[in-house]
């Protein structure tokens, strides 16, 4: 098993390298460059030329990438082309915020989803099952930003219980912070809940007709321990996959929630960076997201192997 993990981690770094190259050349070949983005439409050609010279934008893309890679290998992720500030300094607080929000949402969403999925599977066809399914399907019928608007409209504007702005800053107490990110967290939970609940339910149901489930029933186990101790582990593979997918989404794909709740996350930073063609910043954000995702996938594969002993041989 350890050899397997080491190989996977090695592959992970290779993947990150490929991602960094892809991000670099993709952003680079998008129309416009950081100079045009910084100066806007009214820029004069001379001003553009000055900036391009100062940022060495003239060099061919390949060379710039090699410079960047060399610097990274020495631990220096470079400075933002737009602001000249260290990319890591810009990214760290925001990425911590993104992880905090994603983490909080995951702590609520994953157990809730598994619980609802198992409950729905246990009483397949019953009232609870139908209610859970309908609620889930409703949440995926509406785009994330609209869920955000509805929550703000209800809790912020009408009831005034919670702030709609999730602007975190040092001066806030923990209670204020939690208050500020309650609505974004609820939005994220609703967004990822449906997929995990439905897949958990389907995976468990497709295992429920197996002979060892009948045997467990004949041993007099409660339906709960029957599903949790016998059905769930055998149905774990697709469930782990869907949880990993949604956790990845919570980290990588949450820009819309940051915009609606004005949450200073890394998603918005990356969107700005791409808009400004600020390559070092795009790289840093991209790699942070990619590393998180590759890590999540690795953990998911390992957990899948631990849960299903037969996979260990494969």
Partner 1 sequence: MSRSAVVVAIILAAALFAPWLAPYGEAQFVGGVWDPPSVRHLLGTDNLGRDMLTRLIFGARNTVSIAGLATTLAVGLGVALGFLAAALGGWVDALVSRGVEILLSIPVLISALMVLAALGNSLAVLIATIGLLESTRVYTIARAIARTIVVREFVAAARLRGEGLVWVLAREILPNALPALAAETGLRFSFIFLFIASLSFLGLGIQPPAADWGSMVRENAPAINFGLIAPLYPATAIALLTIGVNRLVDRYLAAESRPGAA
Partner 2 sequence: MSPPLARREFLRAAALCGAAGAVGGMASLSGCAVPDGGGDTTGMLRIGMAGGSTSDSLDPRTYVDWMPINIGYQLMNGLVEIDAEGRAVPELLESWEPEGDARVWTFKLRQGIVFHNGKSLTPEDVIYSINLHRGRTPSAAQAVVENIVELRKLDATRIQITLAGADAELPATLSDYRLLVVPDGFEDWAHPIGTGGYTLEVFEPGVRCITRKVGGYWKPNAAHVEAIQVLSIGDAIARTNALISGQVDVINRIDGRTADLMRRNPRFQVIRSQTGQYAVFAMNCEAEPYANADIRLALKYAIDRERLLKTVLNGYGTVGNDQPIPPNNPYFAKDLAAHTYDPDKARHHLRKAGRERLDVALDVSDAAFFGALDAAILYQGAAAEAGITLHVRRRPADGYWSAVWMQAPFCGSYSDGRTTVDGALAKAYKSTSASNETRWRRPEFDRLANLARGELDPARRRELYGVCQHMICDDGGALIPLFMDHIEAGSDKVRGWQPSAIYDLMGQRIGERVWLA
Partner 3 sequence: MSAAGATAGPVLRIEGLSVHSAGGVALVEDVSFELARGEVLGLIGESGAGKSTIGLAALGFARGGCRITAGRILLGGTDLRLLDAEGLRRVRGRRAAYVAQSAAAAFDPAMRLIDQICEGPIRHGLMSRRAAEERAIADFRALDLPNPATFGQRYAHQVSGGQLQRAMAVMAMACGPELLVLDEPTTALDVTTQIEVLAHLKKLIAGSGTAALYISHDLAVVAQIADRLLVLRHGKPVETGSTADLLTRPQTAYARALVAERAGVALAATASAAAPSAAAPVAAASPAALLEVRGLGVHYGRQAAVSDASFTLAPGETLAVIGESGSGKTSLGYAVCGLVPARTGSVSLAGVELAADYAQRSREQLRRLQLVFQLPDVALNPRQTIAAIVGRPVQFYFGMRGPALASRTSELLGLVGLDPAIAGRRPGELSGGQKQRVCIARALAAEPDVLVCDEVTAALDPLIAEEILQLQRRLQERLGLAYLFITHDLATVRRIAHRVLVLWRGRIVAQGATAEILAERRHPYVAKLCAAEPEMRPGWLEEALARRAGTEPSNEFQSAGGN
DSSP secondary structure letter of residue 86: B
Tell me how far apart the alpha carbons of residues 44 and 140 are, in angstroms, rounded to a whole number: 47
Secondary structure class of 235 (helix, strand, coil) = coil
Which one, of 12, 31, 141, 90, lies nearest residue 265 by Cα?
90
Smallest distance, partner 1 to C-beta of residue 88, A: 19
Residue list 44-63, contact with partner 3 (CB under 8 A):
none
Nearer to partner 2, 136 or 296 (CB): 296
Choose the contact partner of 43 out of partner 3, partner 2, partner 1, none; CB within 5 to 8 A by kind. partner 2
Q: Are 112 and 191 in contact (CB under 8 A)?
A: no
Smallest distance, partner 2 to C-beta of residue 27, A: 10
Which one, of 247, 279, 270, lies nearest residue 99 by Cα?
247
Q: Are 148 and 188 in contact (CB under 8 A)?
A: no
Smallest distance, partner 2 to C-beta of residue 127, A: 26
Q: Is 101 in the site for partner 2 (CB under 8 A)?
A: yes
Fill in the per-residue mask, 111 to 150: x = in contact with partner 1 (CB under 8 A), - = not in contact: -------------xx-------xx--xx-xxxx-xx--xx
Stretch that binds partner 2, among 10-18, 42-50, 69-77, 201-209 (CB under 8 A): 42-50
Tell me how far apart the alpha carbons of residues 203 and 237 are, in angstroms, rounded to a whole number: 9
Nearer to partner 3, 59 or 214 (CB): 214
β-bridge mates for residue 86, sequence order: 79
Q: Is 8 in the site for partner 2 (CB under 8 A)?
A: no
Q: At what angle do helices 144-151 and 174-208 cross, to 10 degrees?
A: 130
Which one, of 261, 255, 103, lies nearest residue 180 by Cα?
261
Fill in the per-residue mask, 179 to 218: x = in contact with partner 3 (CB under 8 A), - = not in contact: ------------------------------xxxx-xxxxx
Which one, of 6, 12, 55, 46, lies nearest residue 280 by Cα?
55
Q: Is 230 in the site for partner 1 (CB under 8 A)?
A: no
Q: Is 236 in the site for partner 3 (CB under 8 A)?
A: yes
Which one, of 130, 145, 77, lies nearest residue 286 by Cα?
77
Residue list 59-98, contact with partner 2 (CB under 8 A):
80, 82-83, 90, 93, 96-98
Fill in the per-residue mask, 75 to 114: x = in contact with partner 3 (CB under 8 A), - = not in contact: ----------------------------------------
Choose the contact partner of 29 out of partner 3, partner 2, partner 1, none; CB within 5 to 8 A by kind. partner 1
Cβ neighbours, 10 Å, residue 46:
7
User: What number of residues does the chain have?
Assistant: 314
| Site residues (vs partner 3, CB under 8 A) | 209-212, 214-222, 225, 229-230, 233-234, 236, 307-310
């Amino acid at each position: 098993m350890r050899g397997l993990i080491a190989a996977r981690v090695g592959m992970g770094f290779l993947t990150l390298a490929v991602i960094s190259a892809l991000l670099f050349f993709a952003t680079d070949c998008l129309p416009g460059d950081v100079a045009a983005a910084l100066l806007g439409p009214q820029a004069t050609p001379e001003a553009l030329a000055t900036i391009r010279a100062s940022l060495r934008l003239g060099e061919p893309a390949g060379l710039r990438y090699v410079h960047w890679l060399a610097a990274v290998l020495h631990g220096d992720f470079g400075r933002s082309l737009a602001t000249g500030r260290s990319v890591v300094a810009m990214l760290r607080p925001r990425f911590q915020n993104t992880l905090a929000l994603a983490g909080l949402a995951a702590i609520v969403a994953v157990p809730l989803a598994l619980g609802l999925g198992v409950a729905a599977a246990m009483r397949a066809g019953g009232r609870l099952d139908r209610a859970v399914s309908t609620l889930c399907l409703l949440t995926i019928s509406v785009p994330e930003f609209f869920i955000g608007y509805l929550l703000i409209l209800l809790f912020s504007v009408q009831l005034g219980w919670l702030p709609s702005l999730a602007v975190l800053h040092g001066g806030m107490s923990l209670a204020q912070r939690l208050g500020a990110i309650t609505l974004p967290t609820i939005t994220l939970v609703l967004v990822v809940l449906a997929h995990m609940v439905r897949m958990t339910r389907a995976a468990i149901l497709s295992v429920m007709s197996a002979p060892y489930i009948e045997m467990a029933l004949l041993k007099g186990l409660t339906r709960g321990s029957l599903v949790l101790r016998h059905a769930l582990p055998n149905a774990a593979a697709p469930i782990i996959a869907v949880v990993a997918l949604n956790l990845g989404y919570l980290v990588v794909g949450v820009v819309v929630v940051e915009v609606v709740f004005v949450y200073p996350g890394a998603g918005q930073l990356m969107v700005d960076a791409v808009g400004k063609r600020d390559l070092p910043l795009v790289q840093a954000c991209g790699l942070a997201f990619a590393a998180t995702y590759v890590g999540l996938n690795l953990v998911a594969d390992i957990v899948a192997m631990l849960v299903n002993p037969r996979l260990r041989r494969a």
